[in-house]
Chain A
Amino acid sequence: MAYSFDFGLVVSGEYGEWLRQGLLTTLHISAISIVGSLLLGTLVAVLRLSRIKPLVWGSAAFTEFFRNTPLLVQIFFWYFGSYSVLPDFVNEWLYKRDFEFAAGVIALTVYTAAFIAEDIRSGVFAIPKTQLEASRATGLSFLQAMRYVILPQAFRIIIPPLISQFLNLVKNSSLVMAVGVMELTYMARQIEAYTFHGLEAFTVSTLMYLSISLVISFAVNMYNKRVLKIAPR
């Protein structure tokens, strides 16, 4: 059986609109999760670097647990099982909104935060220890020293691995289709189910993912070449 390609079908009209909507949802969920995971990841990393033992253990357990379980299982957990671990008012607030989308955002944020926390920690370790000692000696508290001296330098070093985490997040956002968020992969799947022209839909959506990835990784390479070369060590 010869397969006849019909790209016109998926780039225009109703199905083209589906893919466009899907791409927007992918970008939307990725953008929210990127901001969330950066904040949560920084918090977890700072807690793990603190000297208060329960906080150190707690954040270490957080990182190890979320890094070593599949994202898909985490998505299902937040979607099906979160109501019994989240407080009631949060559940009510979530149910009034798009619950699939919220579960997806929470899962992507928490999962990526665990990886980002590790990146930030390794960035902080790359800063000479005397920096922290010197800033503590000038009278800054631990948090002030982190905020004004250590983290700004660490972030500069870890921008490339951070961005590749964000890139992974964009790719991982395809998994939220499993709970019915209508993002790019979901739409491609949907077009396949309606028209049996899945190959075109998957080609176009693969190209969309690919162009996001390539643009970002090109930018990272430029950053590596231009900025990191002149960064003081």
Chain B
Amino acid sequence: MRWDVVVNNLQYFLLGAWPNGELGGLAMTILLAVGGIFGAFWLGLVVGLFRMSRSGWLRWSAFVYIEIIRGTPLLMVIFWFYFLAPALLGHSLPGSYSALCALIVFTSAYIAEIVRAGVISLPKGQMEAARSTGLTRGQAMRHVILPQALFNMIPSFVNQFVSLTKDTSLAFIIGVNELTKTATQVNNRTMNAPTEIFIAIALLYFVICYVLTAFSRRLEKKLARYQARGR
């Protein structure tokens, strides 16, 4: 076993060429993950609300959006953003931007379904009671339903965050210099320790994702007591 290759390149795995060059490696992975979940949360919330709206065509278009995105591999979505941008904008986008857009669009479809499930699982009386106090549907959603529903959804969001963190590795395919890409670069350069390099990279991802999963499991137990549920 040649763990010295991993140790010598550890800084490159963690930060890329920074501070002498561009930021990359694990730092880039985390940036993509944080940006992705932030964007996907808001887009997913909007799509989820559209999916439950009373306007037929809003509901229908959200449904089509969710089904198309969920039926397509993420890699395809990434290629779509990568190759569509030059055709639409006339110039190409940096890989990290196309990857981020693809991650946001892809994850938002799953978040939208989580939002919908969260709202549906609330007792129906909540909406009726809120409406009967004189709130409009929008106000009732914003001040009564969503705060409770989002609270119940926290564990599912964390799980989605874990998938998204793993999915950032696909940005490698379009040349973004994140953790997986740094691993293949070092592997191509050294050629003598592929097993060690990929085990080390897998462990780096594992630590982040496992901490999040464990956190979500604890949260799920804690929140179960306070959950407002239907039935």
Binding site for B on A (CB under 8 A): 1, 3, 64-65, 67-74, 76-77, 80-85, 171-172, 174-175, 177-178, 185, 188-189, 192, 198-199, 202, 205-206, 209-210, 212-214, 217
Distance in angstroms between the alpha carbons of A175 and B172 in the assembled complex: 11
Q: Is the CB of B169 within 8 A of A70?
A: yes
- From the candidates A73, A80, A175, A199, name the one contacting B83 in the complex (CB within 8 A): A199
Distance in angstroms between the alpha carbons of A157 and B163 in the assembled complex: 25
Choose among A74, A174, A217 the residue with the greatest number of B CB atoms under 10 Å from its CB.
A174
Residue B213 interfacial (CB < 8 Å): yes
Q: Is the CB of A71 within 8 A of B166?
A: yes
Nearest residue, chain B, Cβ from A198:
B83
Q: Is the CB of A70 within 8 A of B76?
A: no
Nearest residue, chain B, Cβ from A64:
B210
Contact residues in B for A72 (Cβ distance below 8 Å): 169-170, 172, 180
- 14 sampled A-B residue pairs with Cβ under 8 A: A64-B213, A65-B202, A65-B206, A69-B203, A69-B205, A72-B180, A73-B169, A73-B205, A74-B202, A82-B195, A171-B71, A199-B84, A209-B73, A213-B72
Contact residues in A for B67 (Cβ distance below 8 Å): 214
Contact residues in A for B209 (Cβ distance below 8 Å): 67-69
B contacts with A, residue count (CB < 8 A): 42
- From the candidates B75, B83, B202, name the one contacting A77 in the complex (CB within 8 A): B202
Residue B194 interfacial (CB < 8 Å): yes
Q: Is the CB of A175 within 8 A of B206?
A: no
Question: Do A175 and B72 form a contact, CB below 8 Å, given A73-B183, A188-B79, A199-B83?
Answer: no
Q: Measured between C-beta atoms, what is the minimum distance from A64 to chain B in Å?
A: 6
Contact residues in A for B76 (Cβ distance below 8 Å): 174, 185, 188, 202, 205-206, 209
**Interface SS of chain A: helix, strand, loop or mixed?**
helix
Distance in angstroms between the alpha carbons of A80 and B90 in the assembled complex: 38
Distance in angstroms between the alpha carbons of A70 and B79 in the assembled complex: 19
- From the candidates A70, A174, A192, name the one contacting B166 in the complex (CB within 8 A): A70
Contact residues in B for A81 (Cβ distance below 8 Å): 194-199
Contact residues in A for B197 (Cβ distance below 8 Å): 81
Distance in angstroms between the alpha carbons of A82 and B195 in the assembled complex: 7
Choose among B1, B72, B84, B203 the residue with the greatest number of A CB atoms under 10 Å from its CB.
B72
Q: Is the CB of A80 within 8 A of B169?
A: no
**Which B73-126 residues have C-beta < 8 A from chain A?**
73-76, 79-80, 83-84, 87, 90
Contact residues in B for A70 (Cβ distance below 8 Å): 166-170, 180, 202, 205
Distance in angstroms between the alpha carbons of A178 and B73 in the assembled complex: 14
**Which B108-146 residues have C-beta < 8 A from chain A?**
none
Residue B176 interfacial (CB < 8 Å): no
Q: Which 3 residue pairs of A and B lie closest in terms of their CB atoms, listed nearest first?
A: A213-B71, A81-B195, A80-B194
Residue B173 interfacial (CB < 8 Å): yes
- From the candidates A64, A71, A74, A171, name the one contacting B72 in the complex (CB within 8 A): A171
Nearest residue, chain A, Cβ from B173:
A178
Q: Is the CB of B180 within 8 A of A84?
A: no
Distance in angstroms between the alpha carbons of A73 and B198 in the assembled complex: 7
- From the candidates A1, A68, A175, name the one contacting B75 in the complex (CB within 8 A): A175
Nearest residue, chain A, Cβ from B197:
A81
Q: Is the CB of A73 within 8 A of B180?
A: yes
Distance in angstroms between the alpha carbons of A171 and B77 in the assembled complex: 11
